[in-house]
């Protein structure tokens, strides 16, 4: 397929490369010239704007930090909608507010362009190996047309409802992940303070009911003090903020989400916003004056 890709960050760059590996024709744009040059070196064509990237593409994918970025890239001057032809498809794979996704979807519909919101889960490692979980909102016919692209980037892609449903599903995912990391932090800080080896505790519990993909991915990072970002604290804070705003609009109380979002805000204020979200555990460590690490 002829595909345009706008947004070559930590996630977007490997996703674009996986589309190239699958044999799709790719034109790319990013405001960071070095990222465009790297993708071009892997076989993509370079564009000087989002509109130029979208011109002639059957499908344009956007992968950007937040809703305002998506709205600017799609709806703004020299944006995707300026270049997208009627009948083409725009797929936003960013994690944004469902309301923002629906706004972009309506603008696309007015121009005769199809739209899907399709946020992903899995962070940089799964973006690299093409095993992302992709949560999609939109029409089934459009979803089916884009499925070959999803297969190149993810291990699963599920249509969850109309436009906006993909991001509601992603917010639900982000709530579970953040609360899981926070709970893991409390558990391993307790174990460490009690004089136990947190790695032994992790190995003891991971096969039981407390075991999870989050635990398996993030506990070893915390124990090794490896907070190199696969998914940054500040981006997870943004997702929880969007979850709380959506919940407020529906009069849904999310007390655990609110608490963890405040932890993330505190970590950002302490200069840790660009660490991996596994560094949520450091908030618990600061309170306990105990660090999760193997005994000396």
Which residues carry out catalysis? 170
Integer Cα distance of 280 and 285 in angstroms: 9
Residue 139, Cβ neighbours under 10 Å: how many? 14
Q: Are 18 and 10 in contact (CB under 8 A)?
A: no
Q: Which residue has 């519990």 as its token pair? A: 205
Q: Cα(256)–Cα(173) distance, rounded to whole angstroms?
A: 14
Q: How far apart are the first and last CA of the chain?
A: 55
- Given a contact cutoff of 8 angstroms between Cβ atoms, the answer to whether 239 and 170 are in contact is yes
- DSSP conformation class of 293: -
**Element holding 154 (H helix, E strand):** strand 154-161
- Please state the φ and ψ torsions of residue 207, each to the nearest 5 degrees: -90, -5
For the record, the structure tokens of 9 come out as 């960050």
């Amino acid at each position: 397929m002829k595909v345009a890709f706008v947004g070559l960050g930590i996630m977007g760059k490997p996703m674009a490369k996986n589309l190239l590996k699958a044999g799709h024709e790719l034109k790319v744009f990013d405001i960071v010239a070095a990222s465009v040059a790297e993708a071009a070196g892997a076989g993509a064509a370079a564009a000087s704007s989002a509109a130029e990237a979208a011109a002639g593409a059957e499908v344009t994918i956007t992968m950007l930090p937040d809703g305002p970025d998506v709205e600017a890239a799609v709806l703004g001057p020299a944006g995707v909608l300026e270049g997208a032809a009627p009948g083409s498809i725009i797929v936003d794979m960013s994690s944004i507010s469902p309301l923002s996704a629906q706004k972009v979807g309506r603008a696309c519909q007015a121009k005769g362009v199809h739209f899907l919101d399709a946020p992903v889960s899995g962070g940089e490692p799964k973006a690299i190996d093409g095993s992302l979980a992709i949560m999609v909102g939109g029409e089934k016919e459009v979803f089916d047309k884009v499925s070959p692209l999803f297969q190149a980037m993810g291990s699963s892609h599920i249509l969850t409802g109309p436009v906006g449903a993909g991001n509601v599903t992603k917010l639900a995912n982000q709530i579970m992940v953040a609360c899981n990391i926070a709970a893991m932090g409390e558990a391993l800080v307790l174990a460490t303070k009690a004089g136990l080896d947190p790695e032994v505790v992790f190995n003891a519990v991971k096969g039981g009911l407390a075991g999870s993909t989050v635990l398996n991915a993030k506990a070893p990072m915390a124990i090794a003090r490896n907070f190199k970002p696969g998914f940054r604290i500040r981006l997870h804070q943004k997702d929880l903020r969007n979850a709380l705003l959506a919940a407020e609009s529906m009069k849904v109380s999310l007390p655990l989400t609110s608490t963890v979002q405040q932890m993330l805000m505190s970590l950002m204020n302490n200069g840790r916003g660009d660490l991996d979200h596994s560094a949520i555990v450091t908030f618990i460590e600061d309170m306990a004056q105990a660090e999760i690490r193997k005994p000396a």
